[in-house]
Homo-oligomer: A and B are copies of this chain.
């Protein structure tokens, strides 16, 4: 009798010998340890009740504490230094070096969060954060992510959670409509099931990697390669302004580092890819017996928001049967507004496009949307079919198994938060959000242009302003570089603003990225005042 075995376990014995035992309704019969180990007893001096990690009332209590923390955090984050003043290793010095043996009230955990962790954060949620690109966010997204964490589905196949898969497909199709992507990228169109498809991944890098692998395998098949024998002949292309993660993804996929072409750009194209150069290089590679395989065009580079001409790149690529991927990680979100959509012109001729709502569409990390014109071209390379995942729905061919469009197998309920954002706020407010950020960036740009100590280095396309103290009088460009470097350091040291930099055309440039979700016009104005004041102090 196993029930008897259970109640004879050491833990159960101890539990029944104490008056602290919980009433039956609160203490479910989880079995005590049947293994012999002294550690088995170590929980008991502290807490004799059965351990219920998801007790609904504990969940409610813990989460209410977390929610109150968050609401307070948003109220107060404005006054916290954006960039913390901590030394490497500070947290290990503050917190215990080893895990505790015994449990503690959740308040202890929350207290350590407040006193040790928060002071060491770089506050991306601060309205005074202007570095990198903002990680925009919203109440609806956080709620969606919270529910996903709680449901904790692992939707590798449709059957493993139909609603999770279908929600992801639906959210991607909705977003495709917001972006006016051609229906060839959609999973379901008004006339039935489409040939395209999408998947939500963690990062743009993964979107690049899986499409690179699909393009690589297709090129190998076309070349009649035995295995990967022809891999050293395959070449890939991108402008030198393309995010470094692209060049890394190429290496991950096994492309020869010598065959990864970084095409120089300059101010004559506002640092966008020149299709004529692309054509020349692809032709030269072909003439040399190499096999052009993949080109990445960026809409809104990380460095300076340059835009590669999508249609012209696609036209060149078509001559060589090359896979075209569009990386619109940041600026893709702007394309939900008709006035920005032209940056995607020609997208109907590319093979794949990715954009990250976790950057600029009010959806917290991780949320990168990848669309592929022919979903089978991805799954041909990424499909797995182990016995333990086989099921009737997959066999029917009527469902999408999202594991076959990503690196891994497991996956959160990723579509929920993105759907919640669109469902709750609606298209018009999302457009208003983009336009508000762009208007604030334009205001900042006008401030810079009106002050003759500064220059705007590249035309502003979206909500990023690239500017610098310009070399005037006896100041060389190198002097100006140094002045800008000092300006950035001094600004960031104040804790009242955080700006990052880049190098454009060999010049050190400050990046002012508008759009942190708590940001208002007054924060942009204050930052500008601080920049002016700090500049005066270092220029005197």
Interface residues of A in 137-175 (CB under 8 A from B): 137-143, 145-147, 149-154, 158-164, 166-167, 169-170, 173-175
Q: Is A281 part of the contact surface with B, judged by Cβ < 8 Å?
A: no
Q: Which residues of B contact A125 (CB under 8 A)?
A: 54, 150-152
Contact flag A422-B99 (CB < 8 Å), given A29-B522, A92-B169, A408-B206: yes
Count of this chain's copies in the oligomeric assembly: 2
Interface stretch, picked from A115-123, A291-299, A319-327, A476-484, is: A115-123
Partner of A150 from the list B203, B205, B356, B364 (CB cut-off 8 Å) is B364
Determine whether the beta carbon of B388 is less than 8 Å from that of A132. yes
Determine whether the beta carbon of B521 is less than 8 Å from that of A29. yes
Determine whether the beta carbon of A40 is less than 8 Å from that of B142. no
Q: Is A382 part of the contact surface with B, judged by Cβ < 8 Å?
A: yes
Q: Which residues of B contact A31 (CB under 8 A)?
A: 436, 439-440, 443, 521
Q: Is A438 part of the contact surface with B, judged by Cβ < 8 Å?
A: yes
Kindly list the 7 A-B residue pairs having the minimum CB-CB distance in the complex, ordered from nearest: A254-B254, A203-B408, A120-B163, A43-B428, A53-B138, A205-B408, A91-B166
Q: Which residues of B contact A393 (CB under 8 A)?
A: 88
Q: Is A475 part of the contact surface with B, judged by Cβ < 8 Å?
A: no
Highest count of chain B CB atoms <10 Å: which of A102, A149, A159, A164: A149
Partner of A124 from the list B34, B161, B366 (CB cut-off 8 Å) is B161
Q: Is A56 part of the contact surface with B, judged by Cβ < 8 Å?
A: yes
Determine whether the beta carbon of A163 is less than 8 Å from that of B91. yes
Assembly CA distance A121 to B155 (angstroms): 10
* A29-73 near B? 1/0 per residue, CB < 8 Å: 111111111011011101100110111111111111111111111
When C-beta atoms are compared, the residue in chain B nearest to A137 turns out to be: B152
Determine whether the beta carbon of A124 is less than 8 Å from that of B137. no
* A6-19 near B? 1/0 per residue, CB < 8 Å: 10010100000000
Q: Which residues of B contact A232 (CB under 8 A)?
A: 227-229, 231
Assembly CA distance A337 to B40 (angstroms): 9
Interface residues of A in 394-447 (CB under 8 A from B): 396, 398-399, 407-412, 416, 420, 422-429, 431-433, 435-436, 438-440, 442-443, 446-447
Determine whether the beta carbon of A120 is less than 8 Å from that of B166. yes
Determine whether the beta carbon of A338 is less than 8 Å from that of B58. no
When C-beta atoms are compared, the residue in chain B nearest to A210 turns out to be: B252
A148 to chain B, nearest CB (A): 8
Q: Is A86 part of the contact surface with B, judged by Cβ < 8 Å?
A: yes
Determine whether the beta carbon of B28 is less than 8 Å from that of A161. no
Partner of A228 from the list B101, B256, B521 (CB cut-off 8 Å) is B256
23 A-B pairs with CB atoms under 8 Å apart are A31-B443, A35-B337, A43-B431, A65-B143, A70-B146, A73-B151, A91-B166, A99-B422, A100-B426, A106-B140, A117-B167, A121-B162, A124-B153, A125-B151, A135-B153, A142-B149, A146-B146, A205-B409, A244-B386, A245-B384, A247-B384, A356-B410, A387-B501
Assembly CA distance A429 to B58 (angstroms): 15
Assembly CA distance A71 to B58 (angstroms): 9
Assembly CA distance A315 to B124 (angstroms): 47
Q: Is A459 part of the contact surface with B, judged by Cβ < 8 Å?
A: no
Assembly CA distance A502 to B389 (angstroms): 8
Q: Is A539 part of the contact surface with B, judged by Cβ < 8 Å?
A: no
Q: Is A311 part of the contact surface with B, judged by Cβ < 8 Å?
A: no
Determine whether the beta carbon of A407 is less than 8 Å from that of B205. yes
Assembly CA distance A101 to B205 (angstroms): 31
Q: Which residues of B contact A422 (CB under 8 A)?
A: 99-100
Q: Which residues of B contact A128 (CB under 8 A)?
A: none
Q: Which residues of B contact A215 (CB under 8 A)?
A: none
When C-beta atoms are compared, the residue in chain B nearest to A28 turns out to be: B520
Contact flag A163-B29 (CB < 8 Å), given A139-B59, A432-B43: no
Determine whether the beta carbon of A428 is less than 8 Å from that of B46. yes
Determine whether the beta carbon of B439 is less than 8 Å from that of A9. yes
Q: Is A531 part of the contact surface with B, judged by Cβ < 8 Å?
A: no
